[in-house]
Amino acid sequence: MPSMLFKKRRKHQSITAYAVEQIEETIFNKKLRPGDKLPSLGELQKLLGTSQGALREALRILREKGLIEVKTGRSGGISVRAVTSSQISDSLALMIRQKQISPKHLLIFRSTLEVSAASLAVIEAKENNIKQLNALKTRAKSHLEKGVVGWDEFYRVENLMHQALVKMTKNPLFESVLLTVYRYYQGYNNELVPKKLKNMKDAYRDWRELLEAMETKQPQQAGRIMSRHLQRFLPTESTGDQMRKIKELFVSQVD
């Protein structure tokens, strides 16, 4: 159990906020590991000089943050919890599902990450990764050959290709954020991409060339192809300054 020396509460700081802050600092400053125990509820109450109600509220906040878990029983108590990227993914997923993030916002967000992810994927890709992408490309081609009738299935497979690519980066931040975006992005395709055979053909060509860059170990070329690919989704009618700057960024990357 760590020795806990708490700072004085700041003026106008609520007791609950003070308790949350001090317990967080103890966890990080003492470099506590997942599973390490904190003092009991009674001991924490005395050390922090808080009421039982304020402390319980502080512990509830810390549980929601994913920092601690509280168990009852003989082997129970307050212990440090392993922090994962799931909290980020869950919050982002809720924002997308509640339409708090527009298709344009998602696209601009993707444009700042996905070009780099494509380049990194080429560096990290193994033979089995390339085989997986080639298999998905073959599936996409079969839907493309159906024409616009195969639109929905084509873009479902295309979404899987994006997911496979970002997993190749072996970067948990790329994965937790971008995989969440891909999971809920399918419903935005009709809002961003006109349902035309040409758009399907262009998307397929991008993936074919990206795979060629991957097989020949050309990370910068892969980034340029992904930049061009995302540029296709930019609404042509957009006149906002932010979208204009994004378009200029894409053009410079493609050239």
Residue type, 70: V
Residue 94: which residues within 8 A CB-CB, separation 6 or more? none
pLDDT at residue 141 greater than cutoff 80:
yes
| Contact present, 152 and 144 (Cβ < 8 Å) | no
The domains found in the chain, sorted by start residue, are 15-80 (1.10.10.10), 86-254 (1.20.120.530)
pLDDT at 187: 53
Q: Which residue has the tokens 């262009």?
A: 202
Angle at alpha carbon of residue 194, lines to 223 and 103, rounded to 5°: 65
pLDDT at 64: 84
| Contact present, 27 and 35 (Cβ < 8 Å) | no
pLDDT at residue 20 greater than cutoff 90:
yes
* CA gap 65, 87 in Å, rounded: 8
Give the closest residue to 222 by CA, choosing from 182, 253, 176: 253
Residue 172: which residues within 8 A CB-CB, separation 6 or more? 85
For residue 142, count other CB atoms closer than 10 A to its CB. 12
pLDDT at 14: 93
pLDDT confidence of 125, banded at 50, 70, 90?
A: very high
pLDDT at residue 172 greater than cutoff 90:
no
pLDDT at residue 251 greater than cutoff 50:
no
Helix/strand number for the chain, H first, E second: 12, 2
In this prediction, residues 224-245 reach a mean pLDDT of: 68
In this prediction, residues 165-188 reach a mean pLDDT of: 79
Residue type, 59: L
pLDDT at 84: 67
pLDDT confidence of 184, banded at 50, 70, 90?
A: low
What does the pLDDT look like over 100-124, one tens digit per residue? 777 677 777 777 788 899 999 999 9
pLDDT confidence of 151, banded at 50, 70, 90?
A: very high
What does the pLDDT look like over 196-230, one tens digit per residue? 899 999 999 999 999 999 999 999 999 999 988 88
pLDDT at residue 191 greater than cutoff 70:
no
pLDDT at residue 30 greater than cutoff 90:
no
Q: What is the DSSP letter of 68?
A: E
Residue type, 79: S
